[in-house]
Amino acid sequence: MCGVFGIRSEERDVSRLAYFGLFALQHRGQEAAGIAVSDGGRLTVLREIGLVAHAFDEQQLQALPGEVAIGHTRYSTTGANKWANAQPLIHHGRARTVALGHNGNLVNVEELRDELIGDGVKLASGLDSEVIAALIARDPAPLADAVAATMARLEGAYSVTALVDGTLVAFRDPFGFRPLTLGQLGEDWVIASETCALDLVGADVVRDVQPGEVVWVDEEGLHAAQAVPSGRNALCIFEHVYFARPDSRVGGVEVHGARVRMGERLAEEAPVEADLVIGIPDSGTPAAIGFSKASGIPFNEALIKNRYVARTFIQPEQGMREQGIRMKFNPLDEVEGKRIVAVDDSIVRGNTMRQLVQMLLDAGAAEVHVRISSPPVVSPCFYGIDMADEDELAAAHRSVEEMRAHVGATSLHYLSVDGMQAATTLPEDSVCRACFTRNYPTSVPPKVEKLRFEPAPA
């Protein structure tokens, strides 16, 4: 996934505001965090593996003065989880130096890498993001033209903030797969993956960066240009299902409201006689509230989640599955003797749901009816979500009944594609739903290996 942030201000403490912005975007990536700051001449970058709160301290932030800052929270889809792959990355090219943070995934990265390497460009990382930086950095054209020329070469998903020669730059692929929003803080301009980051720094939401658009902020203010034509918009519908924070507005729609409506639709499409509706915290909760509202079955909390289990957390060994799920969830007495409707946003690999159902049954639940507020995930994502291998998707080769048996539930139902779409209130031709429908808005490579550009182990 990843979160990106950018701000330009001559008055404000831009590195501190970038830190706060990243804090609001922590849910988009917990593997690494970084901030790059420029004072016009000097460019400084701080990157660390781990959570935002651990990556920077007061002293470090004070040592990052400047007028422009960009930030990044990382969730790896290309390249390993290691310090060298943390962002913002810096690339020194023939024409300029580019610091850049990227949310998304390129689908034509192989040919671009080959071309750059063939031209003698040295790539320091296994990131597709560095390819974007390298293309901009070697182009002698004026900055906006160099970005536009680069965008014309890229295929796939990219929402980017960059810092080049004291200018804040942001651009978004012509399909608009990943969100990117523009805000204003007094006279200053702020850019963020989600509106929740603009809210946190006190900025007003102005508008989305449009698909195919580049915006840049220099000492003269904000500039914008349609860099590449945008045909069909394809905002990732999974942002509304799971990724985005519920208090964000994505594509102009509040995510929490969309999730509640998904739960309401689900109750209409797949009713059940039961005593209690519970949400799988946290992302299943809004849909559970909607399911309860539409069905009249009371909602209550019944699973307590430990919110401090990050992706970088040391995982228990294979044989310690029980501890694995217990590290995240613990049931309350509330479930005992009850017919439970357990609502979650999606099933990807299926292991967690199977363990949760067993946990609820062990805690005394009489029945566990699983309701999923999105359709079955049947196909991989090539646009920045780490589920690239179809074999890992539990529903790819199973019927709904086989999935019910797989997770051990009393019954299992998914929300229909139409129901999900209606809940977002967005037009069908403005979103990507490919992992549910197999209809990709772009050509896609046959198979993608996440670590394909990493050096082989010695």
If the CB atoms of residues 191 and 434 are measured against ligand SF4, the closer one turns out to be 434
Nearest-CA neighbor of 178 among 247, 104, 72?
104
The nearest distance, CB 368 to ligand SF4, in angstroms, is 27
Nearest-CA neighbor of 248 among 260, 256, 237, 259?
256
Catalytic position from the list 2, 236, 432, 435: 2
The nearest distance, CB 412 to ligand SF4, in angstroms, is 21
Contact between 385 and ligand SF4 by CB under 6 A: the answer reads yes
Contact between 347 and ligand SF4 by CB under 6 A: the answer reads no
If the CB atoms of residues 38 and 421 are measured against ligand SF4, the closer one turns out to be 421
Contact between 136 and ligand SF4 by CB under 6 A: the answer reads no
Record the tokens describing residue 397, joined without a space: 């080769």
Say which DSSP state 165 is in. Answer: T
Count of CB atoms situated within 10 Å of the CB of 250 = 25
Nearest-CA neighbor of 350 among 329, 330, 317, 372?
372
Question: Are β-strands 97-106 and 68-74 bridged in parallel, bridged antiparallel, or unpaired?
Answer: unpaired
Contact between 432 and ligand SF4 by CB under 6 A: the answer reads yes
Contact region for ligand SF4 (CB under 6 A) — 63-71, 197-205, 336-344, 378-386? Answer: 378-386
The nearest distance, CB 280 to ligand SF4, in angstroms, is 19
Nearest-CA neighbor of 97 among 17, 9, 38, 35?
38
Contact between 168 and ligand SF4 by CB under 6 A: the answer reads no
Count of CB atoms situated within 10 Å of the CB of 443 = 9
**What contacts 142, CB < 8 A, 6 or more positions away?**
none
If the CB atoms of residues 244 and 385 are measured against ligand SF4, the closer one turns out to be 385
- Selected binder of ligand SF4 within 19, 20, 299, 383 (CB under 6 A): 383
Instruction: Say what angle helices 351-362 and 321-328 make with each other, to 10 degrees.
Output: 80
The nearest distance, CB 309 to ligand SF4, in angstroms, is 22
Contact region for ligand SF4 (CB under 6 A) — 113-121, 138-146, 272-280, 428-436? Answer: 428-436
If the CB atoms of residues 56 and 238 are measured against ligand SF4, the closer one turns out to be 238
Record the tokens describing residue 243, joined without a space: 């990724």
If the CB atoms of residues 119 and 418 are measured against ligand SF4, the closer one turns out to be 418
The nearest distance, CB 4 to ligand SF4, in angstroms, is 16
- Selected binder of ligand SF4 within 23, 238, 414, 453 (CB under 6 A): 238
Amino acid identity of 303? L
If the CB atoms of residues 221 and 427 are measured against ligand SF4, the closer one turns out to be 427
Amino acid identity of 284? G
Contact between 414 and ligand SF4 by CB under 6 A: the answer reads no
Q: Give catalytic status of residue 2 as yes or no.
A: yes
Nearest-CA neighbor of 246 among 281, 277, 209, 283?
283
Identify whether the C-beta of residue 28 lies closer than 8 Å to the C-beta of residue 193: yes
Q: Token match 């182009």: residue?
A: 139
**What is the distance between the alpha carbons of residues 245 and 255, in angstroms, rounded to a whole number?**
7
Contact between 102 and ligand SF4 by CB under 6 A: the answer reads no
If the CB atoms of residues 109 and 278 are measured against ligand SF4, the closer one turns out to be 109
The nearest distance, CB 230 to ligand SF4, in angstroms, is 16
Contact between 348 and ligand SF4 by CB under 6 A: the answer reads no
Contact between 433 and ligand SF4 by CB under 6 A: the answer reads yes
Record the tokens describing residue 129, joined without a space: 């993001």
If the CB atoms of residues 165 and 390 are measured against ligand SF4, the closer one turns out to be 390
Size of the site for ligand SF4 (CB under 6 A): 11
Element (H, E) at 43: strand 43-49
Identify whether the C-beta of residue 66 lies closer than 8 Å to the C-beta of residue 59: no
- Selected binder of ligand SF4 within 227, 274, 434, 448 (CB under 6 A): 434
The nearest distance, CB 131 to ligand SF4, in angstroms, is 20
Residues shown for the chain: 458
Count of CB atoms situated within 10 Å of the CB of 95 = 14
Contact between 177 and ligand SF4 by CB under 6 A: the answer reads yes
Contact between 381 and ligand SF4 by CB under 6 A: the answer reads yes
Record the tokens describing residue 102, joined without a space: 């990227």
Contact between 435 and ligand SF4 by CB under 6 A: the answer reads yes
The nearest distance, CB 396 to ligand SF4, in angstroms, is 13
Residues numbered 208-237 forming contacts with ligand SF4, rule: CB under 6 A: 236-237
Exposed/middle/buried for residue 395 (C-beta within 10 Å: 0-12, 13-18, 19+): buried
Nearest-CA neighbor of 286 among 374, 376, 350, 364?
374
Q: Which spans of this chain sit near ligand SF4 (rule: CB under 6 A)?
A: 177, 236-238, 381, 383, 385, 432-435
Residues involved in catalysis: 2
